[in-house]
Amino acid sequence: MAMAGLYRRILPSPPAIDFASSEGKKLFTEAIHNGTMEGFFKLISYFQTQSEPAYCGLASLSMVLNALAIDPGRKWKGPWRWFDENMLDCCEPLEKVKDKGISFGKVVCLGHCAGANVEAFRTNQSTIDDFRKYVIACSQSDDCHVISSYHRGTFKQTGTGHFSPIGGYHAERDMALILDVARFKYPPHWVPLGLLWEAMDTVDESTGLRRGFMLVSRRQRAPALLYTLSCNHESWITTAKYLMDDVPVLLSSETMKDVKNVLATVFMSLPLDFAEFIKWVAEIRRKEDGGQGLSEEEKGRLSIKEEVLKQVQETGLYNHVTDILSLQNLVCPTKQAMGHRDSLPSIAASVCCQGAGILTGRSGSSDRFCCRETCVRCYRATNGDKPVTVVSGTVVNGNGEQGVDMLVPLSQGEPSCCNSGSCGDSGMHPASNDVLTALLLALPPHTWSGIKDKKLSDEISSLVSTESLPPLLQEEILHLRGQLLMLKRCKDNKVEDDLGFTSSSSRFLQGMDPLHDDPMFFQKLNFYSKQNSHRKSSHAVTNCSIHKLLFTHSGVCSLGAMTPGKGYSLSAVSLAEIRSTIACPKSASYNMRGMLARYIGVLIYVSHV
């Protein structure tokens, strides 16, 4: 005999107050008057009901991502790109979520995978006063939203752990509005903030960890300008272990006599596949999109990359690395590992094949494309007051061919770009010496602390210090260091339990804007404006279309271009794209692959249709 279903639940009141009740409406009106419902309107515009009984975490995040106008980078249905719960499969298989729900840490992971900036706090990492400040701040703005993870039992509701966004705050009554995504069960309702804190300050039995809350906002910048780390090749685990664990031990040897000795020791023992670990970022476009010229946006982005490259080459460490690599008998394994990585035609052939796969909508099938010729076409185009290098390739598969251009950042050497129709290597693009320099600068400071000779230790510390680096390069290196530390967390299986405060969240808590209070912000802004990059601040972008994609697949990362004069936004691609482009090793756990995708982000540039 079929069992009768359930039609809603009666909302226990008190402690909750139904949003649609007379008292709920009064609280809403008063909160609007006091300016603490600003985030409500974007959220309510994208309010959704969870499509499965255990999809509360996915529905909450999907709702917030759409409210923030973050482009998912892949289609939902028809031609439309839109966040749906079924697209949030990055950090946990959907079948598992459908059966058992999802943990707090993995929702945080999903947010990062999907392109948002997420700052998470368990209740044992925060206080109720801090929580209140965050709720008030987000309620007074529509560019940041709070998702709460709490236990329903505290509100006398049926069920256990639950996720829902907070839609507003009533200051006089100290109440928060929960936009419950289980609308088949309970309507939106007001609850005392203190009681909500108690509901969050409970232990999730599946992890043994406290619940909490997260702040979700748009990212302000692309994760990398010129360099990024990659987990495409299975050797990333070996390389990360070597850099983070083995190098400090090697450097504690008594045989360290000078800088050359230190660097040679590091290079001689590098894993053979370490070149798969760090990539430089190239930009691709359809050949017909650009012709022989570059748009102002393309020139601006290329100029910024070139400035980062120039700043790397101006460091004292770069000179030492270059000298070491010139010693044939000293670093043979390193040179073998880099091998064809310094050959522009080889790099371009790989990137153009990947680009063709992306630009034809088959991002995971670059291996089905191949260069029609063994050598790519390189030409020199002059735009404005300086030359640029664009490598062109025509790739083919069984269904036709695709022309792809790769925009190459150049060093400050004397140009030697090939003429149109000829082949060759300009030798001016990012190469092994600057890539290795960036990687060494990104190593944590304690890496070098085992050097026993005080004078040598001080010299090395000076060479690898980030404090004196120019703002652009400092930001680039610190981002690489963050990627490296995240890889170590993944390698050590510390994914779920290390969410804590970040520097930007601490500044936010103190009433500071992390973007505008960044001490380097105006210096960077000044440089960007000089380069005519036209980087706009993040606003809601609708009806967007993918133009190009940055990815870390076999070879160099590739970055997309935008339509000149059109508004644009940055976001990270969610799992289906990440799986096919980052291609983390099958031996890695599902959770680990998701966490890697958080920080080794796949990016897209989008433009209005």
In degrees rounded to 5, what are phi and psi of residue 208?
75, 15
pLDDT at 275: 74
Catalytic residue list contains 162: yes
Q: Record the tokens describing residue 4, joined without a space.
A: 């009768």
pLDDT at 94: 84
* Cβ–Cβ under 8 Å, residues 178 and 184: no
Q: What is the pLDDT of residues 395-451, one digit of tens each?
A: 555 565 656 666 777 665 544 444 434 444 444 567 778 888 988 998 988 889 888
**Does the model's pTM come out above 0.85?**
no
Catalytic residue list contains 180: yes
pLDDT at 589: 38
Cα dihedral across residues 587, 591, 594, 598: positive or negative? negative
- In terms of CATH, what superfamily is 17-218? Phytochelatin synthase, N-terminal domain (3.90.70.30)
pLDDT at 308: 87
pLDDT at 229: 74
DSSP string, 59-103: HHHHHHHHHTT---SS-SBTTB----GGG--SSS-HHHHHHH---
* Cβ–Cβ under 8 Å, residues 431 and 342: yes
Which residues in the chain land under pLDDT 50? 223, 290, 332, 339-340, 342, 352-353, 355-379, 381, 383, 414-427, 500-609
Residue 409 vs residues 164, 302, 472: alpha-carbon distances, Å: 45, 6, 15
pLDDT at 5: 79
* Domain residue spans of the chain: 17-218, 227-608
* Cβ–Cβ under 8 Å, residues 391 and 350: no
Catalytic residue list contains 56: yes
Q: What is the C-alpha radius of gyration for the chain, rounded to an integer number of angstroms?
A: 26
pLDDT at 385: 54
In degrees rounded to 5, what are phi and psi of residue 147?
-110, 130
* CA–CA distance, 554 with 351 (Å, rounded to integer): 8
Residue 451 vs residues 259, 330, 460: alpha-carbon distances, Å: 11, 20, 9
pLDDT at 496: 59
Partners of 550 in the β-ladder: 603
* CA–CA distance, 448 with 436 (Å, rounded to integer): 16
pLDDT at 403: 64
* CA–CA distance, 22 with 237 (Å, rounded to integer): 58
Q: Of the candidates 312, 380, 389, which has an alpha carbon nearest to the alpha carbon of residue 347?
A: 389
* Cβ–Cβ under 8 Å, residues 607 and 569: no
Residues 6+ positions from 78 with CB-CB distance below 8 Å: none
Q: What is the pLDDT of residues 260-289, one digit of tens each?
A: 888 888 888 888 777 777 777 766 666 655
Q: Of the candidates 302, 292, 221, which has an alpha carbon nearest to the alpha carbon of residue 561?
A: 302
pLDDT at 415: 42
pLDDT at 242: 85
Partners of 394 in the β-ladder: 403
Helix (H, G, I), strand (E, B) or coil at 115: coil
The active-site residue out of 151, 162, 233, 479 is 162
pLDDT at 118: 87
3-state helix vs strand vs coil in the chain, percent to 5: 40, 20, 40
- Buried b or exposed e, range 10-42, using 16+ CB within 10 angstroms: ebebebbbbbebeebeebbeebeeeebbbbbeb
The active-site residue out of 91, 113, 145, 180 is 180
CB-CB neighbours of 386 under 10 Å: 12
pLDDT at 510: 32
